[in-house]
Amino acid sequence: MKTGILPLLLLLPSAAFADTDSLLPVDLGLGVSVRQSPFVGGDTDVGATWTTPDREGFDIKGATWSFNKTDSHQVYIGAGLDEWDHERGDSPQLQDMNKLDRAINLKLGAAWKLPSGVVNAEVAKDVAAHKGTQAHLRYTLNSLTDAAVVRPYVEGQWLSSDMADYYVGVDASEVKASRPAYQAGDSLALKAGVRLEKPLNNKWTLIGGVDATHYNAEITDSPIVDKSTVWGGQVGVAYKWR
């Protein structure tokens, strides 16, 4: 089982910012995340991650700053990491392949509240590794219960060919008998999950979630990928500072 600590600076995500006049987070917490590897021989990734409650209800993920904000919508910029594991799950079968760098994305997004939930649209561009682009369109339902926050969501993802090929492509220099060359094109994925929040008292909140992501043939046809669907989850606690 692969373990690791995610870079804290970029994951100061979950920190929900109170307003544009302050960069101090209202809530900040720590949790454990688990994610299956789609790669041949890849280990499940277990690591630490920041986690905070979604007090404004916009379901915006990552380190963001809203520059156009009302009670019903937000437009924001931010930064974050790819969900993809640049170490390919520490797979022993893939150790002879070229090493990958960690992607760092700059993103622009918007969220709109509807009577039944929230729509979130986001475009992100990597500036450190594959230089590719990705777009996410997510719909999150309002909570299913008043006793705790239980919010199911579904998300469509588009990955540019530069991004997809960076992770699942096989260059000519990496070819061997059991691993033919492969070049991925633009790819699609569908993600579904549920986010859970349960206040423990007026300061502490228990936070968790589970999700599944299914990839299309541009990803799964790669000879270094052996799972079309991967599962993930996280659990942690957050403290309200002010």
pLDDT of 9 above 90: no
In the chain, what percentage of residues exceed pLDDT 70?
A: 90
Q: Tens digit of pLDDT for each residue in 15-31?
A: 444 444 445 567 888 99
Which sign does the torsion angle of CA 77, 128, 124, 117 carry?
A: negative
Q: How far apart are CA 166 and CA 2, in angstroms?
A: 21
Query: Phi and psi dihedrals of 15, rounded to 5?
Result: -65, 115
Question: In this predicted structure, what is the pLDDT of residue 116?
Answer: 97
Q: Which of 201, 206, 207, 204 is nearest to 239 (CA)?
A: 204
Q: Which of 138, 132, 186, 185 is nearest to 158 (CA)?
A: 186
Candidate CATH numbers 3.40.50.1220, 2.60.40.10, 2.40.160.40, 3.40.50.970; the one for domain 2-240: 2.40.160.40
Query: Phi and psi dihedrals of 67, rounded to 5?
Result: -110, -5
Q: Show me where the domains of the chain are located.
A: 2-240
pLDDT of 11 above 90: no
Output the six-digit token pair for 130: 């594959």
Question: In this predicted structure, what is the pLDDT of residue 137?
Answer: 98
Q: What b/e sequence results for 173-190 when a residue is b if at least 16 CB atoms lie within 10 Å of its CB, and e otherwise?
A: ebeeeebeebebebbebe
pLDDT of 12 above 50: no
Mean of the pLDDT values across residues 181-208? 96
Q: Tens digit of pLDDT for each residue in 124-169?
A: 999 999 999 999 999 999 999 998 999 999 999 999 999 999 999 9
Q: Tens digit of pLDDT for each residue in 79-134?
A: 999 999 999 999 999 999 999 999 999 999 999 999 999 999 999 999 999 999 99
Q: How crowded is the C-beta side of 103, counted as CA atoms within 13 Å?
A: 23
In the chain, what percentage of residues exceed pLDDT 90?
A: 80
Question: In this predicted structure, what is the pLDDT of residue 144?
Answer: 95
Question: In this predicted structure, what is the pLDDT of residue 55?
Answer: 87
Q: How far apart are CA 152 and CA 154, in angstroms?
A: 7
Question: In this predicted structure, what is the pLDDT of residue 50?
Answer: 85
pLDDT of 209 above 70: yes
Mean of the pLDDT values across residues 185-196? 98
